[in-house]
């Protein structure tokens, strides 16, 4: 099919948010890619933020970072992990981006004096954006997920843009998939009325769904399926049951079993030959099923503590948890994640040594600001002194340097200037060229950056490469003024920027596994391609010599 005009799949949601539209989009994308199709996902978010970079994790979950440095919605992480693609900033459209583009054009006089309105100008900008991404990324199929639920005022104009586009390009080139909730009464009866109402709202916006994915606790009963088909105007076989499953990684297998990809291909008029052409994804589903069967039946397990400051919201660590899952799947190793709130450690509400008893590994992830920093430092000290495998990510590297400077190098009061601007030993600091840069986040190092790995180090052995690229999202760096002192005290800089100025990886030689990185390697992990750092870390947790 490659080389022809692209087809479009539009995924909307009804009844309530959080039903798993992103998983449906990612799962469908994985199924279509396994049939040899080039698939490009686009996520629309109705918020007025230009991107997710300034959002607190409690506001919108994890801020995901792409290779090009775009800070975006966490659903793009779901797409990349399942579909094994590398996305760009244009794959995430926000209301803020669209409106900023339209207003900028108006200020430049590009609308030639016309009254600028949502229709046709904002909708027109959205259509141009969609078509540009489809063309630039050479898509056979574009999967567009509309954030929120139909009826939300902030996504109405985007749905209108899609409606217009389907008329202009031909309805036969569009498949509309509506994800909705089928709740269950205490009696066990599945109720379809919420689905009927959400489809009614979608129709009032000029769109008739072709396929309905019904989220429910149990598999959809025949009676419920028949009612949805009858009252929502879709064929019964196009009502896809999407019940709760034990693992999100079984969602693509479930959707394949229930025929979602075949139903979508049929709506789009793709012949069986085109929809099932051999491609690089052939065999992925069989591999996924094999991995899951082994993983779920495994009896070997390890306990890993995650010491963070957003532990009450698991979505704040979505990519980290996914990376642990991917590595554990490939090792057929069960991981018992134990959450430790760094703020509670810092305030003396819990004893971190007691909390860490019985764990085989410790992860200290990223996180900005002063709150919880000392709790993380204390956790790192325990990992270093007790020989517990440790993996530090971003802020985790910075605080590992702080702990080492204090405890081993004897630099009393050493700290990051982000945590203590008056520290006598700013071992973590802004670089001179970062100071005075205006705008929130203006000093951030974002996106993929190179790291030269030092031969003979553990990190070099793990990656099996001299040069690697990892994604970053941080401001503060290991202060070059302290590099020689830290190295002289035994801290190994196992990876640096090509010019040697920036520390990218550190490790301790006389420790079972003590590795930290300025980067966020969790953003590069994939369901079928786990990140080597996480695989090596879990092997160390299980007692293997790395």
- Active centre residues (catalytic): 394, 520, 522
Indicate the SS3 state at residue 113. coil
364: left (phi over 0), alpha (psi -120 to 50) or beta: beta
Closest CA to 521 of 509, 503, 539, 535: 535
CA distance 201 to 149: 10
Q: In 492-524, which positions are buried (b, 16+ CB within 10 angstroms) versus exposed (e)?
A: bbbbbbeeeebbbbbbbeebbbbbbbbbbbbbb
Are the C-beta atoms of residues 268 and 7 closer than 8 Å to each other? yes
61 pairs with which residues across the strands? none
Residues written for the chain: 546
Distances (CA, A) of 378 to 40, 175, 198, 392: 44, 53, 50, 13
State the first-to-last Cα distance of the chain, in angstroms, to the nearest integer.
45
Q: Tell me: cis bond preceding 120? Omega within 30 of 0 counts.
A: yes
Q: In what order do the strands lie in the sheet with 92-94?
A: 92-94, 39-45, 141-146, 7-13, 174-181, 211-216, 239-243
């Amino acid at each position: 099919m490659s080389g022809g005009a692209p087809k479009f799949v539009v995924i909307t949601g009804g009844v309530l948010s959080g039903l798993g539209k992103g998983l449906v989009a990612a799962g469908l994308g994985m199924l279509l890619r396994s049939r040899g199709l080039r698939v490009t996902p686009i996520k629309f978010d109705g918020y007025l933020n230009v991107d997710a970079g300034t959002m607190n994790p409690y506001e919108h979950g994890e801020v995901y970072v792409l290779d090009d440095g775009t800070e975006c919605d966490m659903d793009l992480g779901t797409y990349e992990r399942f579909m094994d693609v590398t996305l760009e900033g244009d794959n995430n459209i926000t209301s803020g981006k669209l409106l900023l583009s339209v207003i900028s054009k108006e200020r430049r006089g590009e609308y030639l004096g016309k009254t600028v309105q949502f229709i046709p100008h904002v909708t027109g900008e959205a259509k141009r954006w969609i078509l540009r991404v489809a063309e630039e990324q050479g898509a056979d199929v574009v999967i567009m997920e509309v954030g929120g639920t139909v009826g939300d005022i902030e996504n109405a104009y985007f749905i209108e843009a899609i409606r217009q586009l389907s008329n202009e390009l031909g309805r036969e080139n569009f498949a509309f998939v509506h994800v909705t909730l089928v709740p269950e009464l205490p009696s066990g009866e599945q109720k379809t009325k919420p689905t009927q109402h959400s489809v009614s709202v979608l129709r009032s916006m000029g769109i008739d769904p072709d396929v309905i994915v019904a989220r429910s606790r149990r598999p959809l009963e025949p009676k419920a399926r028949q009612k949805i088909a009858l009252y929502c105007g879709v064929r019964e076989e196009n009502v896809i049951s999407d019940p709760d499953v034990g693992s999100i990684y079984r969602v693509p297998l479930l959707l394949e079993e229930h025929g979602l990809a075949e139903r979508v291909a049929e709506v789009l008029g793709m012949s069986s030959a085109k929809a099932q052409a051999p491609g690089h994804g052939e065999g992925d589903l069989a591999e996924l099923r094999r991995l899951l069967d082994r993983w779920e039946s495994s009896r070997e397990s390890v306990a890993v503590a995650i010491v963070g400051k957003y532990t009450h919201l698991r979505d704040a660590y979505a990519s980290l948890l996914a990376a642990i899952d991917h590595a554990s799947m490939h090792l057929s190793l069960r991981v018992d994640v134990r959450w430790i709130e760094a703020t509670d450690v810092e305030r003396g509400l819990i004893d971190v040594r007691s909390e860490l008893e019985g764990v085989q590994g410790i992860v200290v992830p990223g996180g900005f600001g002063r709150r919880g920093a000392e709790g993380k430092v204390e956790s790192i000290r325990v990992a270093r002194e007790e020989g517990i495998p440790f993996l530090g990510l971003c802020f985790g590297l910075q605080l590992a340097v702080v702990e080492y400077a204090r405890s081993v190098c004897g630099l009393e009061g050493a700290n990051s200037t982000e945590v203590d601007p008056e520290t006598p030993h700013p071992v973590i600091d802004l670089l001179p060229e970062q100071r005075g840069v205006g705008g929130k986040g203006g000093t951030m190092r974002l996106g993929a950056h190179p790291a030269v790995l030092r031969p003979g180090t553990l990190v070099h052995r793990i990656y099996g490469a001299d040069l690697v690229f990892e994604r970053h999202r941080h401001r503060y760096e290991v202060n070059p003024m302290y590099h020689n002192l830290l190295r002289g005290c035994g801290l190994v800089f196992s990876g640096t920027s090509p010019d040697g100025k920036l520390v990218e990886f550190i490790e301790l030689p006389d420790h079972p596994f003590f590795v930290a990185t300025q980067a966020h390697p969790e953003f590069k992990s994939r369901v079928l391609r786990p990140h080597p750092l996480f695989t090596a870390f879990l092997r160390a947790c299980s007692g293997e010599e790395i």
